[in-house]
Amino acid sequence: MTETKDKVTIGLRLASMLVDHFAMTFIIMLIIMPGFAVSMFNAFNLDHDPTSFGFSGMSFLFAFGFSAYFNKDIFSGRSPAKRILKMQVIDNKTGRVANPLKCLVRNLTIPLWPLEVIFLLINPKRRLGDKLAGTRIDYIENPEKTKLDWSKFIIALLIAVGFSILISSPFTIMNSNKKTDKVAYVESTFDQQTSEQTNQIFEKKLDGLIREANFRIYAQIENDDRKYVAGILYFDNRNDYENFKESEEKIADLLTSKFPLNKHVCFLKFVYKESGSMSTRQKLYDSRKE
């Protein structure tokens, strides 16, 4: 291989970090986009259950995406930017291409990037991660072909996923601690007749405010002596939807007069749809949580 050591400059390393950031961010987006698309579809797929706007279901995809960032140098010690700028991660002791595990270790400090920039300004060939991993960066015009160590490759992937899960765990815990409005109703107790009658009552009593009502009423909730009322209410115009407090008071008065909260748990979705867009709100009416 042809090596020119003095070409690893601060400017070249900063450019490498910037190019890698955009390249790996794009790769991460490709990884998480399917999960994001599914989450968005679920958010706009109207049903009678509370909609979760969190991303807990995408945690694994985020972990896998960030693990790709930590393993950006795993193939022959060359990230996308290093391939473009003719640089390579080298084992500082042997002078050979760093193995996948060393490439991973040097990148585990990426979350500390301000500190890494300081180290890079002091020595562009060895930032903090390189010192921990025992590696350096060399400028190599014609890198030698190396055989991938598959055992270390797989171990590096697993460690990176585990590390990604670890650093994202505080956000996952915060999301899991959010209260959910999900009610464990008994599906087989669905009362179609009462549901249809309720639709008619709300459309008649709230004419001008609500253009359509879609209720589902269940006679039983698990471990509860109350019934469950779930409704989707479609607003007639945007002004009433945006003036939500006043509109919701009228709806709540009718709801609680028809379904007293000492005998019912009620959940409503409020929807305003127009061409190309949809806005939603939701609220649980549960006397035991008030």
204 and 169 in a common domain: no
* Helix/strand/coil for 146: coil
For residue 270, give the CATH number of its domain: 3.30.300
Residue at which a domain ends, from 154, 176, 198: 176
Beta bridge partners of 264: 227
Overall average pLDDT of the 57-66 stretch: 73
Average pLDDT rounded to a whole number, residues 170-177: 58
Q: Do 38 and 155 belong together in one domain?
A: yes
Among residues 153, 176, 199, the one where a domain terminates is 176
Could you tell me if 94 and 171 lie in one domain? yes
Confidence class of residue 149 from pLDDT cuts 50, 70 and 90? confident
**Statement: residue 177 has pLDDT above 50:** no
Residue where a domain terminates, one of 141, 176, 211: 176
Using only the alpha carbons of the chain, give its radius of gyration. 29
When pLDDT is cut at 50, 70 and 90, the band that residue 145 belongs to is confident
Strands (E), 150-276: 210-218, 227-235, 264-274
Q: By the 8 A CB rule, do 249 and 286 touch?
A: no
What's the mean pLDDT when you consider all of the chain?
86
β-partners of residue 275 are none
| Pairwise CA distance, residues 120 & 128, whole Å | 8
Instruction: Give CA separation, 265 vs 27, 78, 230, in Å.
Output: 45, 58, 8
Query: In whole angstroms, what is the distance from residue 23 CA to residue 76 CA?
Result: 17
Mean pLDDT on 236-262: 95
Q: Is residue 182 part of a domain?
A: no
For residues 127 and 220, state if they share a domain.
no
* Cβ atoms 221, 214 nearer than 8 A: no
pLDDT range class, residue 176, cuts 50, 70, 90: low
Is there a single domain that holds both residue 128 and residue 191?
Answer: no
pLDDT, one tens digit per residue, over 221-234 is: 999 999 999 999 99
Q: Are 215 and 202 in contact (CB under 8 A)?
A: yes
The number of folded domains in the chain is: 2
Q: What is the pLDDT of residue 79?
A: 93
Indicate whether 134 and 17 sit together in one domain: yes
Q: Is the pLDDT of residue 171 over 70?
A: no
Residue 59: inside a domain = yes
My answer on whether 191 and 147 are in the same domain is no
User: Is there a single domain that holds both residue 158 and residue 229?
Assistant: no
For 143-154, b/e burial (b = at least 16 CB within 10 A) is: beeeeeeeebbe
Q: pLDDT at residue 289 above 70?
A: no
pLDDT at residue 212 is higher than 60: yes
Residues 100/74, Cβ–Cβ less than 8 Å: yes
Q: Is the pLDDT of residue 114 over 50?
A: yes
Regarding whether 146 and 30 lie in a shared domain, the answer is yes
The closest alpha carbon to 165, from 91, 67, 88, belongs to 67
> Residue 259's closest CA among 233, 231, 240?
231
Domain that holds residue 243: 187-289
Of 65 and 270, which is predicted with more confidence? 270
Is pTM, for the whole model, over 0.85? Answer: no
> Is residue 181 situated within a structural domain?
no
State percent of the chain over pLDDT 90.
Answer: 62
Q: Reply yes or no on whether the pLDDT at 243 is more than 90.
A: yes
For the cut 90, the answer to whether the pLDDT of residue 47 exceeds it is no
| Same-domain status, 13 and 89 | yes
Residues sharing a CB contact under 8 Å with residue 98, sequence separation 6 or more, in sequence order: 73, 77, 89, 90, 91, 106, 133, 135
Nearest-angstrom CA–CA distance, 22 and 44: 30
Any domain includes 21? yes
pLDDT single digits (tens) 78-89: 999 999 999 999
Q: Are residues 68 and 150 in the same domain?
A: yes
Whether residue 154 is contained in a domain is answered as yes
> Could you tell me if 30 and 147 lie in one domain?
yes
> What is the model's pLDDT at position 41?
60
